[in-house]
């Protein structure tokens, strides 16, 4: 346990997130400055005094002063700039104290590229944007260049639309899977025990989609993304029913992309792939996560690596020319060599889009439950921690391997996001061939238009430009519970009415 005493609770989130980044495997708690605390072990304790007359950071147990800084208060009171300076001072102090540097510097949010995008939209050239990124956030040059490279590619896609803020994208959630993977925290119901819920779910979903189609009839629909779960858990007839309804109700004449996550090989067959192709899907995902057989068994994937490769080849034979594949770095028991072998297999397949995730242990996943187990082994370690074995992976080397592999098959990074508890304090990156970038991913990540999400456990976003040039984003969700979503579909529709009518 690490305690941090802080005099201004309004900075609590930022201080906690940054210190947690230096101590990812330790519980960090922020408490009032005047509180008398001591962890009773060798863990450090810090005091952070955040005041506009000074910033003082102290290692409490030893009394060592890590930072003693007097801000320049001669200018206007700018709280945002002060917070940035506070984070820079804290980062510098913690880097010196721990002997570590973080690849993303002071950045702890999930969208680092939005900041780079701001520089480009303000007219900064590439080199200036990189330098500003490094100076402002103390990120490494490698990550600063990655962020600006991606922002440049995202901006090119966004600029290809005629005012994307006046249009929208549609997300459709299918919360069924062949089985639940160990790391998964998404809405996912095993199809074997929930088959009877599929028909009423599709009917409720169609009702919600019908409302959206009529309410947004005068607006351009730019992209559709059917995700999950695993949408291809549905039968071919069920896919025809659902996607046929979408084609009937929505004007797809301006649609730039129609993605369906085929996802798991154990949900894919030729009939389903032909159905998707015939109904207009032009981008699909076939996601191995790893090509290591032992790992696939451990995480609950029923398909073998060979079956995943065959599913990918089948999609190519049927005519799909924009296929994404996902892999995850940091899966239980894997080593850097295992990742290298997976990447070799991916390179032979040459997908059009490769999404590389660094494992994030999320609440609600079986993996998170295992890591919380109190039963300890004879050497005092927790069983879940031993199984995860994240110390077997050199994350920086693994990320270099992924970027080098992507480059070798003509893929460039085009979108990026980060998550809490992400392995190696790294990022999730999408790489794509020129012209094959995932449009929905960019529009959603950069928050330039409304994302209307239908289905259980989904979140819709309403993007409202403000007179001062900023953007206000409001959200509404739907019930995560399958039964509650079906029974309360009218309430789900009312939530969307209130969101998009500004109520």
Domain at 81, CATH number: 3.40.50
Tell me the backbone φ, ψ of residue 168, rounded to 5 degrees: -155, 165
Rounded mean pLDDT of the chain?
89
Residue 360 has what pLDDT?
Answer: 61
**8 in the same domain as 74:** yes
Residue 184 has what pLDDT?
Answer: 59
**269 in the same domain as 351:** yes
Residue 79 has what pLDDT?
Answer: 84
* Total Cβ atoms within 10 A of residue 303: 18
Question: How many domains are there within the chain?
Answer: 3
Q: Which of 158, 159, 124, 128 is nearest to 145 (CA)?
A: 128
**152 in the same domain as 70:** no
Give mean pLDDT, residues 158-187: 83
205 Cβ contact partners less than 8 Å away, ≥ 6 residues apart: 172, 242, 454, 455
**85 in the same domain as 122:** no
Percent of the chain clearing pLDDT 70 (strictly above): 89
pLDDT per position as a tens digit, 190-207: 888 999 999 999 999 999
**345 in the same domain as 479:** yes
Q: What does pTM read for this prediction?
A: 0.89
Residue 71 has what pLDDT?
Answer: 83
Confidence of residue 263 (pLDDT cuts 50, 70, 90): confident
Percent of the chain clearing pLDDT 90 (strictly above): 68
Contact 290, 340 (CB under 8 A): no
**139 in the same domain as 24:** no
Residue 185 has what pLDDT?
Answer: 56
Residue 73 has what pLDDT?
Answer: 66
Query: Looking at the predicted structure, is the pLDDT value of residue 422 above 90?
Result: no
**409 in the same domain as 350:** yes
Asked if the structure places residue 333 within a domain, the reply is yes
User: In whole angstroms, what separates CA 440 from the centre of its chain?
Assistant: 13
pLDDT per position as a tens digit, 361-418: 555 545 545 544 444 444 444 444 444 444 567 888 888 999 999 999 999 999 999 8
Asked if the structure places residue 105 within a domain, the reply is no
Asked if the structure places residue 488 within a domain, the reply is no
**191 in the same domain as 303:** yes
Residue 50 has what pLDDT?
Answer: 94
pLDDT per position as a tens digit, 458-480: 999 999 988 887 889 999 999 99
Residue 385 has what pLDDT?
Answer: 46
Residue 409 has what pLDDT?
Answer: 98
Residue 380 has what pLDDT?
Answer: 46
Query: Looking at the predicted structure, is the pLDDT value of residue 501 above 80?
Result: yes
Give the CA-trace dihedral at 370, 376, 377, 383, to 10 degrees: 10
User: CA-to-CA distance for 144 and 122, rounded, in angstroms?
Assistant: 17
DSSP assigned state of 353: E
pLDDT per position as a tens digit, 308-338: 999 999 999 999 999 999 998 888 888 899 9
Residue 76 has what pLDDT?
Answer: 62
Asked if the structure places residue 263 within a domain, the reply is yes
Asked if the structure places residue 495 within a domain, the reply is no
User: What per-residue string of b and e applies to 405-438 under the rule 16 or more CB within 10 Å gives b?
Assistant: bbeebebbbbbbbbbeebbbbbbbbbbbbeebbb
pLDDT per position as a tens digit, 335-365: 899 999 999 999 999 999 999 988 765 555 4
Domain at 413, CATH number: 3.80.30.20
Question: How far is the first Cα of the chain from the last one, in angstroms, to the nearest whole number?
Answer: 44
445 Cβ contact partners less than 8 Å away, ≥ 6 residues apart: 111, 113, 154, 415, 416, 417
- Please state the length of the chain: 503
**51 in the same domain as 133:** no
435 Cβ contact partners less than 8 Å away, ≥ 6 residues apart: none
As to burial, measured by CB atoms within 10 angstroms (0-12 exposed, 13-18 middle, 19+ buried), residue 399 is: buried
* Domain membership of residue 18 as a residue range: 2-98
Joined tokens for residue 465? 């430009």
396 Cβ contact partners less than 8 Å away, ≥ 6 residues apart: 103, 424
**428 in the same domain as 376:** yes
Query: Looking at the predicted structure, is the pLDDT value of residue 259 above 80?
Result: yes
Tell me the backbone φ, ψ of residue 438, rounded to 5 degrees: -75, 105
* Pick from 114-128, 159-173, 365-379: least confident: 365-379
**132 in the same domain as 57:** no
pLDDT per position as a tens digit, 136-160: 999 999 999 999 999 999 999 999 9
Query: Looking at the predicted structure, is the pLDDT value of residue 176 above 50?
Result: yes
Query: Looking at the predicted structure, is the pLDDT value of residue 423 above 70?
Result: no
As to burial, measured by CB atoms within 10 angstroms (0-12 exposed, 13-18 middle, 19+ buried), residue 52 is: middle
pLDDT per position as a tens digit, 12-39: 999 999 999 999 878 899 999 988 876 6
User: CA-to-CA distance for 489 and 456, rounded, in angstroms?
Assistant: 10
**228 in the same domain as 352:** yes
Asked if the structure places residue 308 within a domain, the reply is yes
pLDDT per position as a tens digit, 38-66: 666 677 899 999 988 899 999 988 889 99
């Amino acid at each position: 346990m690490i305690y941090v005493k802080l005099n201004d609770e309004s900075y609590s989130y930022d201080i906690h997130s940054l210190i947690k980044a230096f101590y990812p495997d330790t519980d960090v708690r922020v408490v009032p400055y005047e509180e008398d605390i001591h962890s009773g072990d060798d863990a450090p304790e810090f005091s952070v005094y955040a005041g506009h007359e000074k910033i003082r950071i102290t290692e409490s147990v030893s009394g060592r002063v890590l930072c003693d800084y007097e801000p320049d208060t001669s200018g206007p009171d700018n709280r945002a700039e002060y917070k940035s300076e506070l984070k820079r001072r804290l980062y510098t102090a913690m880097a010196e104290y721990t002997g570590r540097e973080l690849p993303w510097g002071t950045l702890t949010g999930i969208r680092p590229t939005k900041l780079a995008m701001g520089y480009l939209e303000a007219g900064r050239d590439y080199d200036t944007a990189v330098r500003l990124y490094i100076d402002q956030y103390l990120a490494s040059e490698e990550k600063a260049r990655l962020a600006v490279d991606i922002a440049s590619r995202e901006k090119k896609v966004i600029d290809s639309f005629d005012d994307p803020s006046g249009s929208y994208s549609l997300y459709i959630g299918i919360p069924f899977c062949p089985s639940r993977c160990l790391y998964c925290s998404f809405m996912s119901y095993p199809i074997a025990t929930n088959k009877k819920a599929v028909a009423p779910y599709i009917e409720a979903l169609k009702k919600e989609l019908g409302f959206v189609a009529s309410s947004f009839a005068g607006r351009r629909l730019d992209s559709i993304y059917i995700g999950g779960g695993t949408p291809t858990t549905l039968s071919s007839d069920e896919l025809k029913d659902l996607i046929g309804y979408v084609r009937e109700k929505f004007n797809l004449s301006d649609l730039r992309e129609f993605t369906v996550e085929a996802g798991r090989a154990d949900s894919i067959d030729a009939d389903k792939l032909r159905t998707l192709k015939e109904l207009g899907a032009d981008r699909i995902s076939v996601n191995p996560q790893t090509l290591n057989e032992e790992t696939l068994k451990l995480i609950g994937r029923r398909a073998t690596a060979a079956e995943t490769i065959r599913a990918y080849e089948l999609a190519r034979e049927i005519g799909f020319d924009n296929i994404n594949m996902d892999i995850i770095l940091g899966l239980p028991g894997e080593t850097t060599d295992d990742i290298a072998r997976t990447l070799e297999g991916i390179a032979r397949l040459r997908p059009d889009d490769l999404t590389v995730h660094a494992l994030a242990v999320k609440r609600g996943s079986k993996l998170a439950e295992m890591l919380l187990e109190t039963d300890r082994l004879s050497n005092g370690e927790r069983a879940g921690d031993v199984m995860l074995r994240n110390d077997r992976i050199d994350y920086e080397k693994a990320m270099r391997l992924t970027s080098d592999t992507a480059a070798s098959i003509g893929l460039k990074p085009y979108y990026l996001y980060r998550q809490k508890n992400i392995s190696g304090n790294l990022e999730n990156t999408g790489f794509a061939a020129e012209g094959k970038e995932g449009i929905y991913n960019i529009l959603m990540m950069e928050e330039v238009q409304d994302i209307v999400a239908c289905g259980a456990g989904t979140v819709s976003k309403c993007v409202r430009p403000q007179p001062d040039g900023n953007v206000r984003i409001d959200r509404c969700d739907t019930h995560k519970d399958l039964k509650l979503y079906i029974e309360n579909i009218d309430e789900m529709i009312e939530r969307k009415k209130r969101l998009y009518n500004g109520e």
